[in-house]
Chain A
């Protein structure tokens, strides 16, 4: 940056140089990012692995609902166990 300003503007060399930098810029901007983090949307960093970074369209649920549903799932399994034990005792 500072080096180009030192040179007088114009001239064949600087045109070629400018074109080269413009090309480079176009190339780097058209290159698709390799990960959600380099796209600027969070996600896996170098030491952390993250799977979910964006909110997709879908069945949106509150995180609390997820926690309660998970507990509910556990309880349904416990109830199955208890039920099996009780019926097993009487038969």
Chain B
């Protein structure tokens, strides 16, 4: 009974790994050109957001200094 339970307990992850690796193998991977295109798009968006956000943060430094 206990052994059976244990077997079931190990069976699920093993099954999952099998399915998962099979899936990843079947997956369409991005080619280099596509990958760089996406990196550029996401990178530009990310850096733009970051610069705007950091600008707001920088504005806070003098405010902090003035009011506290």
The answer to whether A and B touch in the complex, with CB atoms under 8 Å apart, is yes
- Chain B interface residue count, CB cutoff 8 Å, equals 3
Counted as pairs of residues, one from A and one from B, with CB atoms less than 8 Å apart, the total is 7
Query: Are A78 and B63 in contact, with the CB atoms below 8 A?
Result: yes
* Complexed CA–CA distance, A43 and B68 (Å): 41
Interface residue B41 (Cβ < 8 Å from any Cβ of A): no
Which of chain A's residues have a CB closer than 8 A to the CB of B63?
78
Chain A interface residue count: which class? Answer: under 10
Interface residue A81 (Cβ < 8 Å from any Cβ of B): yes
Q: Which residues of A contact B (CB under 8 A)?
A: 78, 81-82, 85
* Complexed CA–CA distance, A85 and B64 (Å): 12
* Complexed CA–CA distance, A82 and B63 (Å): 10
Q: Closest chain B residue to A83 by CB distance?
A: B67
* Complexed CA–CA distance, A78 and B68 (Å): 9
7 contacts between A and B (CB under 8 A): A78-B63, A78-B67, A81-B67, A81-B68, A82-B67, A85-B67, A85-B68
Which of chain B's residues have a CB closer than 8 A to the CB of A78?
63, 67
Q: Closest chain B residue to A85 by CB distance?
A: B67
Please give the distance in Å from A67's CB to the nearest CB on chain B.
Answer: 15
* Complexed CA–CA distance, A78 and B59 (Å): 14
Which of chain B's residues have a CB closer than 8 A to the CB of A82?
67
Q: Closest chain B residue to A77 by CB distance?
A: B67
Q: Per-position contact with A for B48-68: 1 when CB-CB < 8 Å, else 0?
A: 000000000000000100011
